[in-house]
Homo-oligomer: A and B are copies of this chain.
Amino acid sequence: MRIAVDAAGGDHGPAVVVAGALDGARRFGVSLLLTGEEPEIRGAVAASDAAGVDVLIEHAPEIIDGHEQPAQAVRRKPRSAIAVALDAVRDGRAEALVSAGNSGAVMAGALLKLGRIRGIERPAIAGYLPAIGGMTLVLDMGAVTDPRPSHLVQFAQMGSIYIERAFGVADPKVGLLSNGEEPSKGNQLVQETFPLLVAAPGIHFHGNVEGNDITRGVVDVVVTDGFTGNVALKTAEGAASLINATVRRRLTASWRRAMLAALLRPAFDEVRKELDYAEQGGAPLLGIDGVVIISHGRSNERAIASAIGVAKRSVEGEVPGTIARLMATLEPARQSAAAAGM
């Protein structure tokens, strides 16, 4: 299995992406196709430990910057790293894409070059939050800021398939993010979505969940609109940063404390590792006819390596194909609902 990696993406530059990709390729036993500025990539590969990894490089000199309108940028720059990597996936030279680049451009490019799965109305980005006993998948994380109820139903179906096929979670439970557990709670979108999820095929609907249930691990998949999902993830990140900074300040407020804290360093490292998003790094773009994994722009090497693993699991679990099969079985019902104007 060969995985295409957008070596131009990410805030830390090609060296970090390439080193992480090589590490991930070795750890998960896959080959790589690196796209970007070829000399730069060659240099990064030479500077890293590439022993035993099958690496191809495709030159892609065009740069998409953060200020460009994503869909236009991908069209206008067919030789950008994202576009070349997506071509490779479309044409079968690679089986998945990992990118830490502009997520809007990745989405636009994936829609343009790989297309949506038949029957899927809107692709969604699924992210993880750490939870007691593992992690919780939350989608959408920002692809669809104003979804319709039918979109949220598909998010629930896609998220369930992903976490079952790529992570082996049997019969995953789905929660609908709300401001209270009772079915009567929620904004208009949530209240309209609730009965649809109760009736939806292919999922195990648990009911409404609240913000604090995400990290409690009450359900495996939390469904929400992309605006709320994005705010929730970033608010949780912010809370973690504040706690981290406060603990650090209080534990170094005196020499005695700093010395004691230093002796507990391994425990704090374990906490960080257990809760670090990088361990699960790589958010799948679900609903696309191909495996596309979006990494956080500020991904470090470990996060990129982890994303390679997520890509491999998605390919092996045939996530897009499984979503396509569910959609195909639902097609008649969907068409009659559409005809009825629902």
Contact = CB atoms under 8 A, between A and B. Distances in A.
Contact of A242 (B132, B242, B247): B132
Copies of this chain present in the complex amount to 2
Contact of A211 (B178, B226, B234, B242): B234
A264 interface: yes
Nearest to A252: B267
Contacts of A237: 211-212
Nearest to A144: B187
A266 to B, nearest CB: 8
Interface stretch (A85-93, A161-169, A253-261): A253-261
Nearest to A246: B271
A251 interface: yes
A186 B243 contact: no
Interface string A260-272: 1101100110110
A212 B241 contact: yes
Interface string A116-153: 00000000000001111000000000100110000000
- Greatest chain B CB density within 10 A among A187, A216, A225, A245 is at A187
A177 interface: yes
The secondary structure that dominates the A interface is helix
A318 to B, nearest CB: 31
B233 A211 contact: yes
A interface residue count range (under 10 / 10 to 19 / 20 to 34 / 35 or more): 35 or more
Interface in A226-245: 226-228, 230-243, 245
A270 B243 CA distance: 12
Given A257-B264, A257-B267, A232 B230 contact: no
Contacts of A210: 230-231, 234
Contact of A215 (B228, B241, B251): B241
Nearest to A270: B250
Given A232-B235, A247-B268, A260-B264, 20 more contacts: A132-B245, A145-B188, A146-B188, A179-B226, A179-B230, A186-B227, A187-B227, A190-B227, A211-B232, A211-B235, A211-B238, A212-B234, A212-B238, A216-B238, A224-B231, A228-B228, A232-B232, A246-B275, A250-B270, A250-B274
Interface of A: 129-132, 142, 145-146, 177-179, 186-188, 190, 210-216, 224-228, 230-243, 245-247, 250-251, 253, 257, 260-261, 263-264, 267-268, 270-271, 274-275
8 contacts: A177-B231, A212-B235, A239-B240, A243-B275, A246-B274, A247-B267, A257-B267, A260-B264
